[in-house]
Structure 1
Amino acid sequence: MSLPSLETTPIPGLVVVRLDRRDDARGFFKENWQREKMVAIGLPDFGPVQNNVSFNADRGVTRGIHTEPWDKFVSLATGRIFGAWVDMREGESFGATFSLEMDTSVAVFVPRGVGNSYQTLEDATAYTYLVNEHWRPGVTYPALALDDPTVAIPWPIPLSEAILSDKDQNNPVLDPATAIAPKKTLIVGALGQLGRALQVDFPGADLVDLAEGDVDGSPVAALDLTDAAAVAGWPWHEYAVVLNAAAFTAVDVAETADGRRTAWAANAGAPATLAGLARDHGFTLVHYSSEYVFDGTAEEHTEDEPVSPLGVYAQSKAAGDIAVGLAPRHYLLRTSWVIGAGKNFVRTMATLAENGVSPSVVSDQVGRLTFTTELSRATRHLIDSGADFGTYNLSNGGPAMSWADIARAVFERSGRSVDDVSETTTEAYAAGVLDKGQPFAPRPLRSAMSLAKIRATGFEPEDALTALDRYLDAPPGG
């Protein structure tokens, strides 16, 4: 059968689908919902979980205007209807209407927050609809009066002659104060350096971390993703996007017995839990990974390179990547050498430069810095642009540099000579750490990643040295 066709309407997201119905002497056949074809014509892959049929014995049955908190795909098995929809969502299109007559060759996709109603034009009309959340008993959903004068639906059969339920005869009139807010964004790990940066590009997001806290006056709630009861009690259905900025990043501590358990719980177990929730509730999951999932033997890592982690931290991050890849709607951003608010390599070098210290820095690890502001900007871009789901490398741009090169750049910008930074090797540095009885995790020597895929979405990474200048000019806590 051929592809159905799609028509837009004055209500954003509400679309009419003209189905390919095949008629013969026996009756008709149609593919009422065929996921691959519907997605191909531009319908969202909304993940229906329930199919309902409303059989209407008589002409003139009128139902609505109902605004349940889920997407619907409505169509007919028999009969004809006059369908009417009202946008009940916050925003410029609040109160917009659309109506049309439907037979069995027409379907309509109704996005969450749009009021849905219909009037049967023939006896024995079977109205069917797919939804992507389960109906919950005892919950009252928003509704609108069928005769609301503001929207003035032109019912073909006067409501005085129609068949209405008692409930639908007592629905309220249109009120902007009750407009339906969009689903929210949740930032997990909001107290960390990336979590704080994300709050700039995602203002108003709900914030959670392992412990309660506060970020610039915004409360942070406690949520432990390893606590099954806490996870079960969280209202995941309220979110459109979940940004997982939480991670265990102490790569050397991860080599210890306690650190290993913590790293796997945070970097593998928690992302697996979120991926399962994303499947169940339909939200987009954004997760942040690391170039540590590679062994560092490639000159430049691409998104499709098989993972080859060296240490415990790296192994736990690779496991988390695999789990997140099972979420239907996900962005996995692999990044490197992250620099944000608080203590980090750049701030340490700036402090050493200020205090007259001349450090020895490894020169055989090569990669690119990623400032948390750039990581947050890329996240916002991917979501807003509707880029294809999947894995993207993300770092700041410019040439790959060694840690020693970066230290020299910081010293130069701090008024010190680049000659005050000497070089060492990763092997020599590791030996010194191990001689002190401290753990040391293996590092990938080549951390540079190809940025071609994210550039193809229209995002141009800022040069790392340009970002470094701005970072050093900002207060240490910023």
Structure 2
Amino acid sequence: MSVHVEPTAIPGLLLVHLDVHEDARGWFKENWRRRKLADLGFPDLGPVQHNLAFNHRRGTLRGVHAEPWDKLISVVTGRVFGAYVDLRAGDGFGRVVTVEADPSLAVLVPRGVGNAYQTLEDGTSYSYLVNDHWRPDATYLAVDPADPALAIPWPVPPAESILSEKDRANPLLAEVAPMPVRRPLVLGAAGQVGRALAAAFPDATLVTRDDVDLMDPDAAAALPWRDHDVVLNAAAYTAVDAAETPEGRRAAWALNATLPATLARLATEHRSTLVHYSTDYVFDGTAGGPDGHTEDEPLSPLGVYGQSKAAGDLAVGTAPRHYVLRTSWVIGEGANFVRTMQRLAAGGVSPGVVDDQVGRLTFADELARATRHLLDTGAPYGTYHVTNAGEPTSWYDVARAVFRLSGRAESDVSPTSTAAYGAGKQLAPRPLGSVLDLAKLRATGFEPEDAMVALERYVAAQADRP
């Protein structure tokens, strides 16, 4: 039998069928092989502690215990009857799965799922690989293995089992408060991307710069990391021109490079998934394939903002569970180019807008939708380019569309070049080619909405506001 992974009725509880090679000497098995299991869709457990339990007699019963970490359990010698109870908050609370296991079966028990077993043979040894260190302040849940509400069909009735007094005193399921589901943590929740993430993840914990000074690495480390499986980092210094000043340069590197490096270290330590938002400014706008810049293109930032964001991309890439989402021309709730053009259109102004910078708009709610998709589908970790779809446009094209949608003539917008627009101004260099290739994102099953369709809806929504 080849190694394979089998899902169960409890989400995240996986049965791992292992090859056991036996001959006259005994047997051998690979109990944990990270790469092989990953190829089968098994999550990267990342064990940090290994525990063994030896049981003298048949009928020994241990559990039901739910710890705040994941564990891969397996039989070393003998056989067991395993019972697993979902003690996490949600519709599955109290759901039970049972199996008989010998050395050919391992079980991944996720955080918050109760684990219990009863030995079916004398001299049974039981192994636990866990992905967090035991600590005295850890919160455990336990439930009475004999609770009639669970109806676990123990081969040996619990009353006749060898059971610790502590486990005999475990509460009934009806008396157990479910283990809370870990909520996402959104950093930079007051910005355009952060606000969209807050809407897409309504149960998330939101952190703004008024709550925590994220320029202070100690403040970031003090966040309640154990309470969050996913950290969405929308905090950034985005004042592109001010980043070229001495004060702005320091702030840009603190928020765009040092903070991501700190988050990557903490995400690694706490086994969190880190989602980080980046920019087309990590490229100089001169390369790229026929469909735009690809994720594996060498970084080539022009100014301080792009350089600091590029450093952040590299830092986040060191976290085992990470997504770097590069985007461009973000439009959301807050000050942005489209709102500026609407205001100028309403005020009778006829602006000059650059026509030699080409890219695609990214609406913040579309970026949040892509984030949700990658997390929900378990897409491979790594870097993805995320923008709205459609034909690339210049800022001039976008401005003309906004004027038309606002009831002004497109001809009221005049074209100019980046060089002419910047003459006499202290502006940071900008990439002229900002189109990002979306093939890798589409390969995950996500289809971005056309930018012009989203623009029409956005302009209409802004016009309807009092």
TM-score, with length taken from structure 1: 0.93
What is the CA–CA distance in structure 1 between the aligned matches of 2:385 and 2:456, rounded to whole Å?
Answer: 23
Letter in 2 for 1:387: A
Letter in 1 for 2:341: M
Q: Percent same amino acid among aligned pairs?
A: 61
Kindly tell me: are residues 297 and 38 of structure 1, through their superposed partners in 2, closer, same or farther at Cα, counting changes over 3 Å? same
Letter in 1 for 2:117: Y
Query: Counterpart in 2 of 1:38?
Result: 37
TM-superposed deviation, 1:330 = 1.5
Contact 2:221 2:266 in 1 (8 A): no
Task: Verify: 1:309 aligned to 2:265, yes or no.
Answer: no
Task: Verify: 1:376 aligned to 2:368, yes or no.
Answer: yes
Kindly tell me: are residues 206 and 52 of structure 1, through their superposed partners in 2, closer, same or farther at Cα, counting changes over 3 Å? same
Task: Verify: 1:348 aligned to 2:346, yes or no.
Answer: no
TM-superposed deviation, 1:76 = 1.9
Secondary structure at the counterpart of residue 178 of structure 1: coil
What is the CA–CA distance in structure 2 between the aligned matches of 1:139 and 1:387, rounded to whole Å?
Answer: 31
Secondary structure at the counterpart of residue 197 of structure 2: helix
TM-superposed deviation, 1:130 = 0.7
Contact 2:68 2:139 in 1 (8 A): no
RMSD of aligned alpha carbons: 1.8
Kindly tell me: are residues 242 and 208 of structure 1, through their superposed partners in 2, closer, same or farther at Cα, counting changes over 3 Å? same
Task: Verify: 1:276 aligned to 2:268, yes or no.
Answer: no
Secondary structure at the counterpart of residue 406 of structure 1: helix
Kindly tell me: are residues 199 and 148 of structure 1, through their superposed partners in 2, closer, same or farther at Cα, counting changes over 3 Å? same
Query: Counterpart in 2 of 1:251?
Result: 240
Contact 1:46 1:282 in 2 (8 A): no
Letter in 1 for 2:306: A
TM-superposed deviation, 1:176 = 7.6
What is the CA–CA distance in structure 1 between the aligned matches of 2:137 and 2:233, rounded to whole Å?
Answer: 32
The C-alpha deviation readout for 1:25-50, integer Å capped at 9, x for no partner, is 22211111111122222321122211
Contact 1:189 1:245 in 2 (8 A): yes
Query: Counterpart in 1 of 2:413?
Result: 421
The C-alpha deviation readout for 1:115-160, integer Å capped at 9, x for no partner, is 1011222333221111111111143411000111111222222323
Query: Counterpart in 2 of 1:440?
Result: 427
Further displaced range: 284-293 or 457-466: 457-466
Contact 1:3 1:37 in 2 (8 A): no
TM-superposed deviation, 1:334 = 0.8
Query: Counterpart in 1 of 2:157?
Result: 158
Secondary structure at the counterpart of residue 181 of structure 2: coil
Secondary structure at the counterpart of residue 250 of structure 1: coil
User: Map of 1:160-175 to 2, 5 A cutoff?
Assistant: 160-175=159-174
| Deviating 4+ runs (over 4 angstroms) | none
TM-superposed deviation, 1:228 = 3.8
What is the CA–CA distance in structure 2 between the aligned matches of 1:3 and 1:320, rounded to whole Å?
Answer: 42
The C-alpha deviation readout for 1:147-194, integer Å capped at 9, x for no partner, is 111112222223233222221110000128612222111110001111
What is the CA–CA distance in structure 1 between the aligned matches of 2:176 and 2:446, rounded to whole Å?
Answer: 38
TM-superposed deviation, 1:51 = 0.9
What is the CA–CA distance in structure 2 between the aligned matches of 1:94 and 1:428, rounded to whole Å?
Answer: 64
Secondary structure at the counterpart of residue 164 of structure 1: coil
Which of 343, 359, 365 is the aligned partner of 1:367? 359
User: Map of 1:44-443 to 2, 5 A cutoff?
Assistant: 44-175=43-174, 178-211=177-210, 222-298=211-287, 300-433=292-425, 439-443=426-430
What is the CA–CA distance in structure 1 between the aligned matches of 2:23 and 2:214, rounded to whole Å?
Answer: 56
Letter in 2 for 1:19: L
What is the CA–CA distance in structure 2 between the aligned matches of 1:227 and 1:57, rounded to whole Å?
Answer: 54
Letter in 2 for 1:90: A
What is the CA–CA distance in structure 1 between the aligned matches of 2:154 and 2:69, rounded to whole Å?
Answer: 25
Contact 1:225 1:273 in 2 (8 A): no
Contact 2:112 2:179 in 1 (8 A): yes
What is the CA–CA distance in structure 2 between the aligned matches of 1:302 and 1:28, rounded to whole Å?
Answer: 48
TM-score, with length taken from structure 2: 0.95
The C-alpha deviation readout for 1:293-326, integer Å capped at 9, x for no partner, is 0000025211111110000000000001111111
Secondary structure at the counterpart of residue 234 of structure 1: coil
Further displaced range: 144-153 or 414-423: 414-423
Contact 1:194 1:372 in 2 (8 A): yes
What is the CA–CA distance in structure 1 between the aligned matches of 2:14 and 2:5, rounded to whole Å?
Answer: 7
What is the CA–CA distance in structure 2 between the aligned matches of 1:7 and 1:440, rounded to whole Å?
Answer: 57
TM-superposed deviation, 1:53 = 0.9
What is the CA–CA distance in structure 1 between the aligned matches of 2:82 and 2:451, rounded to whole Å?
Answer: 55
Secondary structure at the counterpart of residue 183 of structure 1: coil
What is the CA–CA distance in structure 2 between the aligned matches of 1:138 and 1:361, rounded to whole Å?
Answer: 59
Structure 2 unmatched runs, 5+ = none
Name the count of aligned residue pairs. Answer: 462
What is the CA–CA distance in structure 2 between the aligned matches of 1:139 and 1:12, rounded to whole Å?
Answer: 23
